[in-house]
């Protein structure tokens, strides 16, 4: 770490140059946001393992790095890194340039691929996750180079191309490079995310014998199938001989209608990421509450209502299936219902479990298997990610917290998140910004945004951390 006096000189120079480059930084963020860098299997070719648009985003980042006279290398289209400094020790900063699709374009208040500045915010797909941070950190490296600063550890900005999908970008990158000695990822929240909960995503399935004799017979349940969000929309179709009874019981439905003898009942709830199911009840909660009181229903409807009530109650903490757990520092386990479909006797329910420190994957899977056997369900694990936990008294976490305190004037505690960032991809790495407490960046949702003031404050914090690490 440079002496305090030298560090203060560098910081003063940095702030002056940051103000000078402000319009250029916003311009370059806009250039990167304009790249629709969603993975595209249809345009995969040599050195473009994730498709043309992600490759174009890499090319633009390299073009900017070359303009700044920073060393940049692209690793066969999987990832790139930008370096400044000569030390064999490396401070890594892990980011990604791939983005999720824009969702419902009609819900955006501006073109998601045109950076829109309004009311003190930048709007655009990827602006928070992670495109603004990539550009901002490149300018930090540019300014340090202009200042003639000689870092004690080489600064390496790593940019992956498949963080939002399969992560093989980091596996490939690490096959070509040693991991940094110490690192952070600006793909989380401030002050420091030292724990990212473990992830288990999977599916429950059951074949339900179709019964004929009943007043109300379940025909089907449809929804959007994704593990990224808690279930927020279902359409239930019921063949009924008593439509009036359906209308009376469906108090929580957003729509009820009849076509011939088929009643359609629609439920819509708030849209939450599957890592945060505790924020509001999923769409099947009202369905369960309404139809649990309906008599003369067939076995399929009975079965499904029972499973919803037991496995996915309003409080999504796994209590009723024996996996509830709370850790004093890193929080509680959650279990989201992500999708629910039924057709021709086949039931499928997607789940997403996020678990804190103190409970292990094997224990959770054993409990799930026992409960599934009891309810005649099959369990398939589709995705798993190991938990990240770096102790709060580690050098890395303490240094980042001190950096945050120096800029912000407050000393916070590290936090736990349910999300998955590249912090998990290498040892000795944690999440560090760019989102401040109380902000809602709408990452992965429509109208993704970032406060301009917060963004530039984050760059001050990142500089402080780089100087200290």
pLDDT score at 1: 44
Taking only the tens place, the pLDDT of each residue in 298-324 is 999 999 999 999 999 999 999 999 999
Higher pLDDT, 115 or 211: 115
Tell whether the model's pLDDT for residue 252 goes beyond 50.
yes
CA-based nearest residue to 287, from 311, 269, 262: 269
Q: What are phi and psi of 403, to 5 degrees?
A: -65, -45
Residue 230 in contact with residue 267, Cβ under 8 Å? no
DSSP assigned state of 424: G
CA separation for the pair 438, 190 (Å, rounded): 10
CA separation for the pair 166, 419 (Å, rounded): 15
How distant, in Å, are the alpha carbons of 29, 134, 197 from that of 455? 11, 12, 26
**Residues ≥6 apart with Cβ < 8 Å to 264:** 235, 236, 237, 255, 256, 257, 258
How distant, in Å, are the alpha carbons of 38, 109, 197, 368, 385 from that of 420? 18, 28, 8, 22, 8
CA-based nearest residue to 246, from 346, 283, 236, 314: 236
Q: What share of the chain is helix, strand, coil (3-state, %, to 5)?
A: 35, 25, 40
Domains in the chain (CATH in brackets) are 4-197+388-468 (3.40.630.10), 198-385 (3.30.70.360)
Taking only the tens place, the pLDDT of each residue in 135-190 is 999 999 999 999 999 999 999 999 999 999 989 999 999 999 999 999 999 999 99
pLDDT score at 47: 96
Tell whether the model's pLDDT for residue 5 goes beyond 70.
no
Residue 166 in contact with residue 89, Cβ under 8 Å? no
What are the residue ranges of helices labelled H in 352-415? 361-374, 395-408
Structure tokens at 20: 């000078």
State mean pLDDT over 409-427. 90
Pairing of strands 71-75, 334-343: unpaired
Tell me the pLDDT band of 129, cut-offs 50, 70 and 90: very high
State mean pLDDT over 408-421. 90
CA separation for the pair 446, 386 (Å, rounded): 29
pLDDT score at 103: 87
Burial class, 244, CB count within 10 angstroms (exposed 0-12 / middle 13-18 / buried 19+):
exposed
Q: What is the 3-class SS of 172-226, one letter each residue?
A: HHHHHCCCCCEEEECCEECCCEEEECEEEEEEEEEECCCCCCCCEEEEEEECCCC
Structure tokens at 95: 């980011």
C-alpha neighbours within 13 Å on the C-beta side of residue 237: 13
**Does the pTM exceed 0.85?**
no
pLDDT score at 387: 92
Taking only the tens place, the pLDDT of each residue in 282-298 is 999 999 999 998 999 99
Tell me the pLDDT band of 74, cut-offs 50, 70 and 90: very high
Report long-range pairs for 293-297 (Cβ below 8 Å, ≥24 apart).
Answer: 293/249, 294/216, 294/245, 294/246, 294/249, 295/215, 296/214, 296/215, 296/216, 296/242, 297/214, 297/215, 297/216, 297/217, 297/218
Tell me the pLDDT band of 220, cut-offs 50, 70 and 90: very high
State mean pLDDT over 64-83. 98
Tell whether the model's pLDDT for residue 459 goes beyond 80.
yes
Residue 357 in contact with residue 162, Cβ under 8 Å? no
Question: What share of the chain in percent tops pLDDT 70?
Answer: 99
pLDDT score at 3: 52
State mean pLDDT over 435-453. 95
Tell me the pLDDT band of 219, cut-offs 50, 70 and 90: very high
Residue 464 in contact with residue 217, Cβ under 8 Å? no
State mean pLDDT over 224-235. 96
State mean pLDDT over 98-119. 95
């Amino acid at each position: 770490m440079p002496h305090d006096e030298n560090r203060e000189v560098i910081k003063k120079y940095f702030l002056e140059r940051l103000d000078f480059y402000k319009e250029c930084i916003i311009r370059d963020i806009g250039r990167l946001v304009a790249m629709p860098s969603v993975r595209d299997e249809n345009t995969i070719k040599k050195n473009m393992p994730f498709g043309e648009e992600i490759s174009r985003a890499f090319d633009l980042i390299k073009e900017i790095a070359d303009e700044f006279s920073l060393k940049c290398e692209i690793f066969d289209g999987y990832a790139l890194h930008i370096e400044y400094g000569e030390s064999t020790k490396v401070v890594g900063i892990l980011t990604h340039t791939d983005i999720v699709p824009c969702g419902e374009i009609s819900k955006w208040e501006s073109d998601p691929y045109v950076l829109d500045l309004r009311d003190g915010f930048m709007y655009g797909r990827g602006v928070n996750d992670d495109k603004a941070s990539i550009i901002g950190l490149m300018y930090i490296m540019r300014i340090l180079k202009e200042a003639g600063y000689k870092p004690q550890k080489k600064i390496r900005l790593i940019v992956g191309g498949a963080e939002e999908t399969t992560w093989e970008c980091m596996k490939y990158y690490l096959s070509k490079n040693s991991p940094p000695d110490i690192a952070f990822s600006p793909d989380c929240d401030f002050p420091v995310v030292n724990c990212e909960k473990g992830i288990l995503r999977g599916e429950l399935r059951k074949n339900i014998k179709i019964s004929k004799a009943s007043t109300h017979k379940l025909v089907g349940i449809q929804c959007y199938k994704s593990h990224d969000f808690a279930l927020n929309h279902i359409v239930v179709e019921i063949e009924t001989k008593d439509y009036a009874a359906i209308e009376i019981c469906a108090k929580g439905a957003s729509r009820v209608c009849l076509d011939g003898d088929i009643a359609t009942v629609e439920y819509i709830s708030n849209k939450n990421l599957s890592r945060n199911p505790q924020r509001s009840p999923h769409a099947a909660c009202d369905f369960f509450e309404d139809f649990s009181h309906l008599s003369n229903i067939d076995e399929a409807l009975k079965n499904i209502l029972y499973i919803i009530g037991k496995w996915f109650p309003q409080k999504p903490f796994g209590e009723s299936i024996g996996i509830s757990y709370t850790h004093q520092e890193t929080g509680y386990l959650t279990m989201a219902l992500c999708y629910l479909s039924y057709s021709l006797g086949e039931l499928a329910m997607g789940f997403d479990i996020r678990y804190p420190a103190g409970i292990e994957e094997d224990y959770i899977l054993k409990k799930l298997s026992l409960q599934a056997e009891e309810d005649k369900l099959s369990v398939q694990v589709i995705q798993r990610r190991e938990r990240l936990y770096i102790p709060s008294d580690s050098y890395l976490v303490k240094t980042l917290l001190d950096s945050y305190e120096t800029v912000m004037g407050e000393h916070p505690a590290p936090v736990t998140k349910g999300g998955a960032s590249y912090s998990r991809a290498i040892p000795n790495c944690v999440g560090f910004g760019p989102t401040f407490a109380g902000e809602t960046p709408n990452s992965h949702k429509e109208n993704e945004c970032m406060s301009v003031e917060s963004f530039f404050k984050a760059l001050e914090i990142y500089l402080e951390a780089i100087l200290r690490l």
